[in-house]
Amino acid sequence: MRRVFTIAAVVGLLCVMAVPASAEKPFVWLDETFVVEDAPFVDEFGDPVCEFPVYVSETVKLRGTDHYDKDGNFVFGVFHARGTSYYYSDDVTLPKAEHWSWVSTFDVETLTNPMRGNSWGLIGILEERGRIVFDVQTGEVLFEAGKWPVFHDGFGPLCDALAPPA
């Protein structure tokens, strides 16, 4: 999930740079679906999340829109990512998928990136839900409400669930 935060911060900056198609209608600058199969599951630095290889196969839908006032001035940008992810190791495949949805709104006035997130399907293993606000320039968390165990505590429960049998 931390990779979504990194993506959202970059996307927030891209929202500012996109050119409007017309004044009052939202400009859709991204509308893509892609499938990832058998990819190593790593953190935002490209490091493994467990002491053994973990893989993910997922379908991801991305949509980005910029919104403008009647004079054509940028007001805010929205980035929505949603998907279904299956996690497995060489020895174990989790029986359920993780379903997730993240909505990030970039505020150009305050340079903040408020996000709403939901993750379900793997309760107790990967479960994040609530709201979190980042300072776009520093990455600092300015506000959070809800549960964000992966963001704060890492992927321990996922690694435990996918560990090779003893």
CB count within 10 Å of CB 42 equals 14
Write out pLDDT tens, residues 9-37: 444 444 444 444 445 789 999 999 999 99
Question: What residue spans define the domains of the chain?
Answer: 2-162
Residue 16: the pLDDT is 45
Q: Is the pTM of this model over 0.85?
A: no
Q: How far apart are CA 27 and CA 92, in angstroms?
A: 43
pLDDT band at 63 (very low <50, low <70, confident <90, very high): very high
Mean pLDDT computed over every residue of the chain: 81
Top-confidence residue, 52 or 23: 52
Top-confidence residue, 149 or 42: 42
Q: pLDDT exceeding 70 applies to what percent of the chain? A: 83
Hunting for tokens 């293993």 — which residue is that? Answer: 125
Residue 65: the pLDDT is 94
